[in-house]
Chains A and B, each alone.
Chain A
Amino acid sequence: MISFNKKEALRYFCAQSDDKSADTLLDAAYQKLKSELQPRFTMKRFECRIESEEEGTVPSLVLLDNGTVFHSKDLARYVGKARELFLFGATLGSGVDIALRRMALTSVAEAGAGQAVAAALIETYCDDCCEELRKRLPEGKHLKWRFSPGYGDWSLEEQKILFPVLGCAHAIGLTLTESCMMAPVKSVTAVMAVTEDPESNGIEETLEATDREESAWVEFNCNQRAMERQNLFSNSKNKCLRCSKTDCEFRKK
């Protein structure tokens, strides 16, 4: 069973922490969703390296040992000196999508709360999966936070490369639509680099990878409602540190 992080759900719901009515709505939504959960995850380990497309330029390619190549300066900077990484996929299952649709039919408040609860649940589930993996890593190896397609300059189109390599459909029933949306919706895919340094987390260095104006990541996090960005959060104790919108009213201290 995935634990329900209500504090996080309140944040996704854009609610104040002392908002009792929002609290009640979230509890009710959680009760409706918990019986629909069919969480699953899959991960695969690869050896990796980064390269530049042209000599003298910033590295923008991440090459896996099976021949897969991802194209992103931010991802390359995230991978940095790591020589291995995990591809990761997780989903809450299609039952949650269907339950959210039911909620939307009768109440927008309940639907909003449901979205926030589901976002909190998939995030907790991913965190739990990664924590288990972290425990199994050999001594001296450290798992970095999750870096997902859509972060920085890593195009969502590259989900088309990631999905078959990870075998998401077969392993966990996670599929990709023509326009690179994940179905079921409440799902996450990510890269997790394994480093030999104690977790520096690499937040700052990754954030600096791309000019602020060019970063789709910055745009994403500035403009979308918190409840809609479940696929865009990454893993660490404080994910807000990776967002450059420092004046956000919901930014975690």
Chain B
Amino acid sequence: MSVLDYLGKEILYFDGAMGTRLQAAGLKPGELPEVWNITRGDVVADIHASYVRAGANILKSNTFGANALKMQGSGYSVENVVLAAFENARRAFASVPEMPEEKKFAALDLGPTGKLLAPYGDLQFEEAVSLYAEIVRAGVKAGADMVLIETMSDTYEARSAILAAKENSSLPVFVTFTFDKDGKLLNGADVETAVLMADGLGVDAVGFNCGLGPDLVAKLLPRARRVTALPIIANPNAGLPVEKDGKTVFSSGPEEFADYMLDVYREGGTVLGGCCGTDPGYIRLVAERTKGMKPVSWNETAVTKNAEKGDSVTAVTGYGAPVYFGKEPVLIGERINPTGKPALKEALRNGDMDYICRLGLEQLDNGAHVLDVNTGLPGLNEAETLCKAVTSLQAITPAPLEIDTSNYEAMERALRLYNGKPLLNSVNGKPESMEKVFPLAKKYGAAVVGLCLDESGIPDTAEGRLAIADKIIQTAAEYGIKAKDIIIDPLALTVSTDSRNSAIDLAVIKALKTKGIHTVMGVSNISFGLPNRDAVNSAFFAMSLAAGLSSAIMNPQSERMMEAYHAYCALSGADKGCKEFVARYADAPKTKTAAVVSEYSLYDAIVKGLTDRSGSAAKKLLGENKTPLEIINGFIIPALNTVGEGFGKKTLFLPQLLMAADAAKAAFDELKKQMQKGRQTDEVQGDTIVLAVVKGDIHDIGKNIVKVLWENYGYHVVDLGKDVSPETVVEAVEKHQARLVGLTALMTTTVAAMEDTINALRRKTDTNILVGGAVMTQEYAGSIGADGYAPDAVAAVNYANRIFKK
């Protein structure tokens, strides 16, 4: 019998704490509990057996931290520890014959790696998958009945563990997360986000463990049930952990715990057990009080009685709050798409992910809920670029992304490393498209945009497009993808060539709305070939929303479109009490302040650190037919020199230096726009400098300041970012033939990496090497072979000016 034969049909019982019991038996802080599987197997088996006698029929193997990182140096391999763990569990089961054999299940327990995954920490996603995969393979060999991924406080790590479990076994997979009392994980994800992601990845049960007591789990549990129909697990602590004299104790005794577990059961918990602080006394009481009870069905709980059923909710997530379809219309920012955008094309070719991140932030700041990410550009490796863009964006925002590509390799790689439940753009009605896209969407838990076109093209009737939508939804079902995860795009075609096009889209939207199918549309396509496109787009957008359009791929920087959106939300009641409308329009400044910029020259604006004014002053100078080069040499650099000198003499301080840098950058950005228009970029393309924070170091504020200042002086800075390997630095210097490299390190532990990088550069290049950072001194810089040392950003500018003889 499999645990799945019982799951959801009757209450199953997990055991309680292992770690706190081992500590009571003599395990010391910092000692690896998993080693006790081998060295103190009897103790582990006795603890397991005590839980089975109390009524637990699922034992968590003592393998919580049995990953290769933690086992390193222990003298034991992952496999040895896992095999021993299951021997102990089996011995424990065998010692309790009164428990029916067919209801004894040993779960392979996978806890967190203890590392934060990149880009938030330094463990690469695929390394995490490999760590978990090794344990899963050992668990399969040991005869595990199921996998329990537990105590997950980071959706990204949970994702890596789930993929490892599913790719290396056919065992049932359960996952439980550790939330705080507000229902948030340590990485900021909500209950709904974590559950939606796990559900999408195809786990068999999902739930809660550790962190909270059963009272708080009972309060959070309905939030999980609102977004999933999966069986819910609850393994809470024995109340909240409390620090007492430096020791952790728990606030609830067995009686109180069992009382609250009844609340958990009533809210829909179907797999019950305990975590830290619980012992067999707790589990026994829970088992006794719920004996013979059947799991509470969906419509029996108070919260879900009148709610939409959990498995029909359409939502996508990053690692913050989910974005739901079918409530207020969802805005998908369209601007990260190189079509017709020369600056973005240039950024993609240069690998300038900061530019892409800024495009993303601008759209989010202006009201986008989801960001479309398309990096398809001839001559570029799309898979690599798309992955970089997704990772870079997810490093700075928890908002959901729409992965937009027709390149299947890029699609799979980006879906795999995505943190959350992504939106995938797109599949269409062609058999080849569905055969390629649906397995990926299923495996990685994506919601998919379905385009109403097939091998015959785009039908010119609403009926034709609806037929394709039906075909897509039915085929998706064959792959196990629910209709709620298909969002149909009726495809807007321009009304300039056929005036029926608008009506066809509206008819498709209306028909799908009545079937409960959500829709998305690239609204602005409707106006191709027409003048005053914003007027047509915004009117069509409002019409589509009124017809029931769930989401639009649009430009949130278009004020007309945003006005249409906010007006619609106010009129439709989605914006209750017109609060957002009023906040956006009544409370906003009524006049812009652009008229007063002429008060400041560009020089003054930079010296005073006035970013808005310097941008406008630069524009004004361009309007007076000054060339970008004249403006840089005549205004920007003299102003920065003044600030730099003041900084050196301590008449100006760091804040003024930084504000002046920002102001100069704003002016430079105006010049760049002009240069891109006139294709004059070569005119001021300065000497190239490569800049990096060395391997192992993740502190980059100093590097960022130096970068901005160098750029303001007209240098072309190749910013390699932080934690950069010596090989990457050498490669960049060779590729760009850079005569100067800037390296920074903050901590003593990374100074060795600085020296390694210098040695690697010396072997292959004759570039100048400038070093800086907190731990560096002139003497130290000399001792590791650097050419120069910059104690601050101004010194870095002066050094570069000397090298390039400015």
Interface set of A (CB-CB < 8 Å, partner B)? 13-16, 19, 21-22, 25, 36, 38, 40, 42-46, 66-68, 86, 93-95, 97-98, 101-102, 104-113, 115, 136, 150, 155-157, 161, 164-167, 169-170, 172-173, 175-181, 183-185, 216, 219-220, 222-225, 227-229, 249
Chain A residues lying within 8 Å of B187, measured Cβ to Cβ, are: 94, 173
Contact with A along B640-673 (1 / 0, CB 8 A): 0000000000100111101101100100000000
Kindly identify which residue among B28, B358, B695 contacts A105, using a CB–CB cutoff of 8 Å: B358
Q: Which of A107, A136, A150 contacts B747 (CB 8 A)?
A: A150
Residue of A whose beta carbon sits closest to that of B655? A22
On whether the beta carbons of A109 and B747 are closer than 8 Å, the reply is no
Question: Contacts A15-B654, A19-B655, A94-B188 given: A225-B749 contact, CB under 8 Å?
Answer: no
6 contacts between A and B (CB under 8 A): A13-B654, A15-B653, A15-B655, A38-B188, A43-B246, A179-B750
Instruction: Tell whether B302 is near chain A: CB-to-CB under 8 Å.
Output: no
Instruction: For the complex formed, measure the closest distance between the CB of A244 and the CB atoms of chain B, giving whole angstroms.
Output: 15
Q: Please, what's the 1-or-0 string for B450-466, where 1 marks a CB less than 8 Å from any CB in chain A?
A: 00000000000000000
Does residue B361 face the partner (Cβ distance < 8 Å to A)?
Answer: yes
The smallest C-beta distance from B742 to any residue of chain A, in angstroms, reads 15
B708 within 8 A of A: yes
Q: How far is the CA of A232 from the CA of B271 in the complex (A)?
A: 46
Please name the residue on chain B nearest to A161 by beta carbon.
Answer: B30
- Contact code string B331-359 (vs A, CB < 8 Å = 1, else 0): 00000000000000000000000100110
**1/0 contact string of B382-421 vs chain A (CB within 8 Å):** 0000000000000111100000000000000000000000
Chain B contributes a number of interface residues (CB within 8 A of A) equal to 68
B661 → A minimal CB distance (Å): 5
What 17 new A-B contacts, CB under 8 Å, besides A105-B358, A111-B701, A178-B696?
A: A19-B653, A45-B247, A86-B246, A95-B188, A105-B361, A107-B658, A108-B665, A170-B112, A176-B115, A177-B698, A181-B750, A183-B120, A183-B121, A220-B774, A224-B773, A224-B775, A228-B701
Contact mask for chain B residues 108-140; partner A; CB cutoff 8 A; 1 contact, 0 none: 000110111000111000000000000000000
- Contact across chains for B696 and A93 when beta carbons are under 8 A apart: no
Residues of chain A contacted by B659 (CB below 8 angstroms): 21, 25, 109
Given contacts A25-B655, A175-B121, A177-B121, whether A104 and B184 have CB atoms under 8 Å apart is: no
Chain A residues positioned under 8 Å from B737 (CB to CB): none
Question: What separation, in Å, do the CA atoms of A94 and B187 have in the docked complex?
Answer: 6
If A14-B655, A19-B655, A219-B775 touch, does A173 touch B746 (CB 8 Å cutoff)? no
Question: Which of B154, B611, B702 interacts with A225 by CB under 8 Å?
Answer: B702
Give residues 772-794 of B contacting A (CB, 8 Å): 773-777, 791-792
When C-beta atoms are compared, the residue in chain B nearest to A45 turns out to be B246
| Minimum CB–CB distance for A189 against chain B, Å | 13
The answer to whether B121 touches A223 (Cβ under 8 A) is no
Is the CB of B676 closer than 8 A to any CB of chain A?
no
Question: Would A108 and B122 be within 8 Å (CB), given that A169-B112, A177-B698, A184-B116 are in contact?
Answer: no
Closest Cβ of chain B to A71, distance in Å, is 15
Closest to B115 in A: A175
User: Which chain B positions have C-beta within 8 A of A25?
Assistant: 655, 659
Q: Are B662 and A225 in contact (CB under 8 A)?
A: no
Is A101 in contact with B395, judged by CB distance below 8 angstroms? yes
Q: Does B153 contact A (CB under 8 A)?
A: yes
Q: Do A181 and B697 contact each other (CB < 8 Å), given the known contacts A98-B395, A224-B774?
A: yes
Q: Is B301 an interface residue (CB 8 A)?
A: no
- Say whether A179 contacts B697, CB under 8 Å: yes
Name the one of B186, B357, B776 contacting A223, with C-beta atoms under 8 angstroms: B776
Contact (Cβ within 8 A) A156 B658: no
The 3 A-B residue pairs with the shortest CB-CB distance, nearest first, are A45-B246, A179-B696, A224-B774
> Which residue of chain B lies nearest to A112 when distances are taken between CB atoms in the complex?
B658
Is B700's CB within 8 Å of the partner chain A? yes
Chain B residues, CB < 8 A from A223: 774-777, 791
Confirm or deny: B704 has a beta carbon within 8 angstroms of a beta carbon on chain A: yes
* Docked-complex contact A180 and B114, CB < 8 angstroms: no
Residues of B within 8 A of A108 (CB): 658, 661-662, 665, 704-705, 708
Q: Closest CB-CB distance, B806 to chain A, in whole Å?
A: 21
B34, chain A: closest CB distance, angstroms? 13
Residue in A19, A112, A157 whose beta carbon sits within 8 Å of that of B705 in the complex: A112
A105 proximity list for chain B (CB < 8 A): 354, 357-358, 361, 396
Q: Is B696 touching A181 in the complex (CB atoms < 8 A)? A: yes
Contact status A175-B116, CB under 8 Å: yes
Interface pair B650/A249, CB less than 8 Å apart: yes
Is B587 interfacial (CB 8 A cutoff)?
A: no
Indicate which residue in B120, B154, B611, B705 contacts A97 across the interface (CB closer than 8 Å).
B120
- B699 sits at the interface (CB 8 A): yes
- The answer, yes or no, to whether B97 is at the interface (CB within 8 Å) is no
Shortest beta-carbon distance, B748 to chain A, in Å?
A: 6
Q: Cβ of B609: which chain A residues have Cβ within 8 Å of it?
A: 21, 109
Tell me the bound Cα distance from A38 to B398 in angstroms.
15
Contact B30–A113 (Cβ < 8 Å): no
Q: A98, B655: Cβ atoms under 8 Å?
A: no
The residue on B at minimum CB distance from A250 is: B653
A216, B188: Cβ atoms closer than 8 Å: no
Q: Using CB atoms, name the residue of chain B closest to A175.
A: B116
CA distance A236 to B373 in the complex (A): 49
Shortest C-beta distance, B395 to chain A (Å), equals 6
Q: Counting CB contacts under 8 A, is B29 at the interface?
A: yes
- Complex Cα distance, B245 from A70, in Å, reads 22
Do residues B702 and A98 form an inter-chain contact, with CB atoms below 8 A? no
Residues in chain B near residue A94, CB distance under 8 A: 116, 120, 186-188
How many angstroms between the C-alpha atoms of A156 and B751 in the bound complex? 12
- Cβ < 8 Å to A, chain B residues 585-634: 609, 611
In angstroms, Cα B95 to Cα A241, docked, is 63
Chain A residues in 8 Å Cβ range of B114:
169-170, 175
Given known contacts A113-B655, A178-B122, is B396 in contact with A102 (CB within 8 Å)? yes
**Residue pair B661, A106 in contact (C-beta under 8 Å):** no
A136 to B243, CA, bound (A): 11
CB of B146 within 8 A of chain A? no
When the two chains form their complex, are residues A219 and B112 in contact, meaning their CB atoms are under 8 A apart? no
Residues of A within 8 A of B184 (CB): 38
Complex alpha-carbon distance, A44 and B248, angstroms: 8
Closest to A169 in B: B114
Most buried by B among A93, A110, A222, A224: A224
Q: Which residues of B contact A216 (CB under 8 A)?
A: 748
Q: How far is the CB of B796 from chain A (nearest CB, A)?
A: 13
Find B396's partner among A15, A67, A98 (CB 8 Å cutoff).
A98
How long is the Cα–Cα vector from A227 to B705 in the complex, in angstroms?
12
Alpha-carbon distance between A110 and B611 when the two chains are bound, in angstroms: 12
Q: Using CB atoms, name the residue of chain B closest to A44.
A: B246
Residues of chain B within 8 A (CB-CB) of A164 are 30
Whole-angstrom CA separation of A223 from B748 in the bound complex: 12
Other-chain residue from A68, A112, A184 in contact with B655 (beta carbon distance below 8 A): A112
Tell me whether A109 and B753 are in contact in the complex, defined as CB-CB below 8 angstroms, given that A45-B245, A179-B697, A185-B699 are known contacts. Answer: no
Chain A contacts for B28, CB-based, 8 A: 66-67
With A93-B186, A104-B704 as contacts: A180 and B655 at CB distance below 8 Å: no
Contact of A66 among B30, B654, B661 (CB under 8 A): B30
Q: Is B757 an interface residue (CB 8 A)?
A: no
A67→B550 CA distance, assembly (Å): 61
Known: A21-B609, A112-B655, A181-B696. A102 touches B361 (CB 8 A): yes
Chain A CB within 8 A of B151 CB: yes
Q: Which residue of B lies closest to A232 (CB)?
A: B774
In the complex, A107→B777 CA distance in Å?
28
Q: Mark B180-193, 1 if CB is under 8 A from A, else 0.
A: 10001011100000
Docked pose: A104 CA to B662 CA in angstroms: 11
CB-CB nearest in chain B for A100: B701
Question: With the chains together, A98 CA to B116 CA distance in Å?
Answer: 13
State the CA gap A101–B119 with chains docked (Å): 11
Q: Cβ of B29 and Cβ of A112 under 8 Å apart?
A: no
Given A67-B28, A109-B659, A173 and B153 contact (CB-CB distance below 8 Å): yes
Q: How far is the CA of A62 from the CA of B102 in the complex (A)?
A: 53
The answer to whether B701 and A115 touch across the interface, beta carbons within 8 angstroms, is yes
